Chains A and B, each alone.
Chain A
Amino acid sequence: MLTVPYTTSYLTEHFGDDAFGTLEGYRAHGGYEAARKALTEMAPAEVIDLVKESGLQGRGGAGFGTGMKWSFMPTDGDQPKYLVCNADESEPGSYKDRILLERGGHQLLEGILIAAWATGSETTFVYVRGEYAFPAEQLSRCVAEAYAAGLLGENVLGTGFRHDVVVHRGAGAYICGEETGLLESLEGKKGQPRKKPPFPAQFGAFGMPTTVNNVETFSHVPHILRNGADWFRGFGTEKSPGTTIFGVSGHVVRPGLYELPLGTPLDEIVFEHAQGVPDGHKVKGVIPGGMSMPILPAGQLDVPMANEHLRERKTMLGTGGIMVMDERTCMVRAACVVSYFFRDESCGQCTQCREGTGWLNQIVERIERGAGAEGDLELLLDVCGKMEAKTICAFADAAAWPVQGLLRHFREDFEEHLRQGKCPFPESFEL
């Protein structure tokens, strides 16, 4: 487990210092000064404007404008308002939020405090995926330190502003990373996403107005407050400012985390930072943004890692989970792993998702076994089409896209299986 990403920037540059994870260590680097500035010198609306100006987009996969999201919270009425920090990180290939929890607890809390001030929220629930026991422990320690130092609780920084943080652990279900699935799970129910409208800003956690943001999204906020919107825009691209933490995995020499500006080219990340494919093998395909995002073939890796560019290649940034596969890899086996995952994790509400994920997985596994039949590939695409854009949440889309991507760029792999009646890649990773 890394203590520091291989390349760092403002989010992770101090992660090598163990003390940075303690209140004292964090304060030594100017920690909580941005929060003090926001709470004592800025009106909530000003904070929202600043974050809007910075162009910060959500880092949980959807990329929605953060300032814009905060502005959806009602400013009138006396009902309690909540923030939720989505620390459910379960997207295969994505493991960046984990290090932010383990080593950047106070950075996260400071971002949360600023957001709480901006939105008038009284409690933040940090929903940590159940399996992240150690990260949850680290964060809970930071929360206790913050309470002891008057940075949380009745009278934050002596300003009279009140804010509580509740660390809540999940229990193992990918769908709890979906905003409203998370809210259901937070409320002690099955994590089945809600129909929208109403949206969380109207009816969220426990029925109250709620804003849900990703761990990394909150973590950028203190830096924006400290250094300003222009400074933030100095990183990344015009449409996608700031840095993000890319998580590289699979067939590379140096798998690991890399904090880099958005817009860094994918091939630079894979071949320079992660030092390319080991043992003389060559890249076959790279999934750029976590397993829900369509794969890119070897010839299309010269793309800046930012949504406005990735969309042109029919994929997206997602959570920046970069999975590299070399030429030995059977893409049908990859499809088996992918489709099994989505079948397992579907919450089961919507007909198309429940039955579609099951059928896709069955077909793909049958093709891998060598029992594929003519028409199977069209059938796969057809089933994907039935699933897209017609369900309560985007899980069905997320389940369809990878299969579409694999067929788009690696149809040959599938056709070889059909032709040969077996998997033609004996060297590929084992299923």
Chain B
Amino acid sequence: MVSSEPTATISPETRSAIDVEIARYPRKRGALLSALRLVQRQHGYISPEAASELAGIFELRPVDVMEVISFYNMFHDRPGGRHHVYVCTNLPCSLRGARGLLRGLEAHLGVEPGGTTADGRITLAHEECLGACGYAPMMRVDETYHENLDEGRAKEILDALE
């Protein structure tokens, strides 16, 4: 999913996909969040160069794009692991041991909170409520939810990630 050498430019495929998104909205800028997601899918994060290019496409200033990137949890402005794993630590999940689970996974991977494994596979962090409160504790691995977890199963899931 993440290219090993992120280039500064947006690929033609990503650019086409962005154009498709732009056509869906009455005003161009409505497609910005989608575009950021597409660029992030290409490189794993959104670099200042990519942000500048997006600014050009959307007729915005680079700082406008950067503001948006910095506001939302799901956008990364720096490279991380090939997979982003988030354990929800909000109240219903914490009531059912989410924080202990997270600490166990940090130890298992050998990372600090929010850190990335040495082999570049996984960035592990906490996240706020993901809407799975009845199936706690749980975690999000990229776009997939894993619910009703115990530490054993959670570790298995992480170990299987490439």
Q: Do chains A and B touch in the complex (CB under 8 A)?
A: yes
CB contact under 8 A between A166 and B133, given known A171-B33, A338-B91: no
Q: Give the residue name and chain of the B residue nearest to A321 (CB).
A: B133
Q: Is B158 an interface residue (CB 8 A)?
A: no
Q: Mark A159-199, 1 if CB is under 8 A from B, else 0.
A: 00000001011111110000000000111111100000000
A173, A187, A255: the one contacting B135 at CB < 8 Å is A255
B91: chain A residues at CB < 8 Å are 92-93, 250, 287, 291, 323, 334, 337-338, 341
Q: Give the residue name and chain of the A residue nearest to B102 (CB).
A: A430
Nearest Cβ on chain B to A165's Cβ, whole angstroms: 10
Could you tell me the distance between the alpha carbons of A337 and B36 in the complex, rounded to whole angstroms? 30
Interface size on B, residues (CB 8 A): 46
Q: Is the CB of A174 within 8 A of B128?
A: yes
Q: Is the CB of B131 within 8 A of A80?
A: no
Nearest Cβ on chain A to B157's Cβ, whole angstroms: 15
Interface of B is mostly: mixed
Interface residues of B in 38-89 (CB under 8 A from A): 58, 67-68, 71-75, 89
**Residue of B89, B131, B143 with most partner-chain A CB within 10 A:** B131
Q: Is A2 an interface residue (CB 8 A)?
A: yes
Binds A, one of B3-11, B20-28, B114-122: B20-28
Binds B, one of A126-134, A236-244, A415-423: A126-134
A-side interface residues toward B, CB under 8 Å?
A: 1-2, 80, 89-95, 97-98, 123, 129-134, 166, 168-174, 185-191, 206, 208, 247-251, 255-257, 287, 291, 321, 323, 325, 329, 334, 337-338, 341, 344-345, 429-431
Task: Give the 4 A-B CB pairs with smallest separation, nearest first.
Answer: A172-B73, A188-B32, A249-B92, A171-B72
B-side interface residues toward A, CB under 8 Å?
A: 24-34, 36-37, 58, 67-68, 71-75, 89-92, 94-97, 99-100, 127-136, 140, 143-145, 147
Given pairs A94-B129, A168-B33, A189-B68, 4 additional interface contacts (CB within 8 A)? A130-B72, A166-B24, A190-B68, A255-B135
